[in-house]
């Protein structure tokens, strides 16, 4: 198990099982706290073969150098980071993805997660990533015709590929919630249960590309559904999206950049993938960029 020290105590994490243990009876001196965020998401590339209207990823061409990524993941691991999440764009368009995931698995103690639209997954890719990836999140924004309207791909094809992924990896289902998809929550939950998903992550749509984001009526409908939900798949909400919903806060003192940071495909460290500001990661490394970001006004 990997051990992380922080303001809430001693956090032990097993990337293979996903088990987390917190020894909160121990007060850890600040000088011993982990210097890296608990979780870092990394957009490997801005390239994507879909064009979803609510996508927040930058549309300019950018791809992170493989050599930089190897240095950054080592640095994050040494700083106490527990996991890196590869995304994009579409991470399966990153040419050296299997090699990168294998490096993280072999040379660090961090978990490797991934967020994907799912349509490029084949048995060959599954075999290339087996043993290196700990969790795969598949973006499924609605079912049937709702999904097809947003994603421009056949839902039946997606369903087959989600099953292919879930047969090989622990899987989660992500869904952007807006006025259209909120009514599909029961069917999304049924899909998550059918593929034995470990989590259904609800992401209220953010304002982007001229779209207003989720409206108050859809948010209220989502919250009502959450309160009445009794399905077998655990629900989760994006950071900052819980509003007044009752949620567990296992690490209440580890917030902000101690908990999470994002690296975009241009090599800029940010507070989140939605942030417009950030710090370029230079020769001094990723932790220095995050420290500079911490010094900025939020």
d(CA 48, CA 88): 8
DSSP string, 117-172: -STT--HHHHHHHTTT-SEEEEE--SSHHHHHHHH-S-HHHHHHHHHHHHTTS-EE
Whether residue 97 is contained in a domain is answered as yes
Whether residue 41 is contained in a domain is answered as yes
For the ranges 57-66, 80-89, 189-198, the lowest mean pLDDT is seen at 57-66
Q: Which carries the bigger pLDDT value, residue 242 or residue 42?
A: 42
Whether residue 68 is contained in a domain is answered as yes
pLDDT for 297: 66
Give the pairing type, strands 279-280 and 268-270. antiparallel
Residue 289 has pLDDT above 90, yes or no: yes
Whether residue 30 is contained in a domain is answered as no
298: confidence class by pLDDT, cuts 50, 70, 90: low
The predicted model gives 16-26 an average pLDDT of 95
pLDDT for 243: 64
CATH code of the domain containing 258: 3.20.20.70
Give me the residues paired with residue 208 across strands. Answer: 211
Whether residue 214 is contained in a domain is answered as yes
Whether residue 10 is contained in a domain is answered as no
Residue 245 has pLDDT above 80, yes or no: no
pLDDT for 285: 98
The residue among 179, 2, 143, 191 whose CA lies nearest residue 82 is: 2
Q: What is the pLDDT of residues 68-121, one digit of tens each?
A: 999 999 999 999 999 999 999 999 999 999 999 999 999 999 999 999 999 999
Work out the burial of residue 260: count CB atoms within 10 Å of its CB; fewer than 13 is exposed, 13-18 middle, 19 or more buried.
Answer: middle
For the ranges 58-62, 64-68, 107-111, 176-180, the lowest mean pLDDT is seen at 58-62
241: confidence class by pLDDT, cuts 50, 70, 90: confident
The predicted model gives 158-173 an average pLDDT of 97
pLDDT for 235: 93
Find out whether 25 and 39 touch, Cβ atoms under 8 Å. no
The range of the structural domain enclosing residue 224 comes to 36-268
d(CA 216, CA 64): 37
Q: Which carries the bigger pLDDT value, residue 59 or residue 224?
A: 224
Whether residue 185 is contained in a domain is answered as yes
122: confidence class by pLDDT, cuts 50, 70, 90: very high
Q: What pTM does this model have?
A: 0.94
The residue among 67, 71, 106, 66 whose CA lies nearest residue 288 is: 71
60: confidence class by pLDDT, cuts 50, 70, 90: confident
Q: Where are the alpha helices (DSSP H) in the chain?
A: 66-78, 97-107, 123-129, 144-151, 155-166, 185-194, 216-228, 286-295
Give the chain's domain count.
Answer: 1
Give the mean pLDDT of the chain: 94
249: confidence class by pLDDT, cuts 50, 70, 90: confident
Whether residue 180 is contained in a domain is answered as yes
């Amino acid at each position: 198990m990997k051990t992380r020290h922080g303001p809430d105590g001693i956090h032990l994490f097993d990337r293979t099982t996903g088990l987390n243990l917190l020894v909160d009876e121990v007060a850890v001196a600040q000088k011993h706290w982990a210097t890296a965020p608990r979780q870092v998401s990394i957009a490997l590339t801005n390239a994507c073969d879909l064009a979803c209207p609510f996508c927040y990823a930058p549309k300019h061409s950018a791809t992170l150098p493989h050599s930089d990524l190897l240095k950054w993941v080592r640095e994050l691991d040494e700083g106490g980071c527990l996991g890196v999440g590869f995304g994009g764009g579409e991470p399966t368009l990153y040419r050296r993805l299997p090699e990168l995931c294998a490096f993280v698995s072999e040379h660090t103690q961090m978990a490797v997660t991934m967020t994907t639209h799912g349509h490029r997954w084949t048995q060959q890719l599954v075999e290339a990533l087996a043993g290196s990836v700990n969790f795969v999140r598949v973006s499924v924004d609605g079912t049937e015709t709702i999904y097809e309207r947003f994603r421009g791909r056949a839902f039946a094809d997606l369903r087959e590929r989600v099953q292919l992924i879930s047969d090989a990896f622990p899987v989660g289902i992500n869904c952007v919630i807006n006025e259209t998809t909120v009514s599909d929550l029961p069917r999304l939950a049924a899909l998550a249960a059918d593929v034995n998903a470990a989590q259904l992550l609800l992401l209220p749509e953010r304002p982007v590309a001229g779209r207003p984001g989720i409206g108050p009526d859809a948010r209220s409908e989502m919250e009502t559904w959450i309160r009445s939900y009794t399905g077998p798949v655990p629900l989760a909400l994006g950071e900052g999206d819980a509003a007044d919903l009752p949620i567990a806060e296992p690490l209440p003192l580890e917030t902000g950049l101690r908990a999470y940071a994002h690296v975009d495909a241009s090599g800029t460290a940010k507070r989140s993938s939605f942030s417009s500001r950030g710090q370029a990661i230079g020769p001094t490394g990723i932790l220095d960029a995050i420290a500079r970001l911490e010094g900025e006004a939020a």
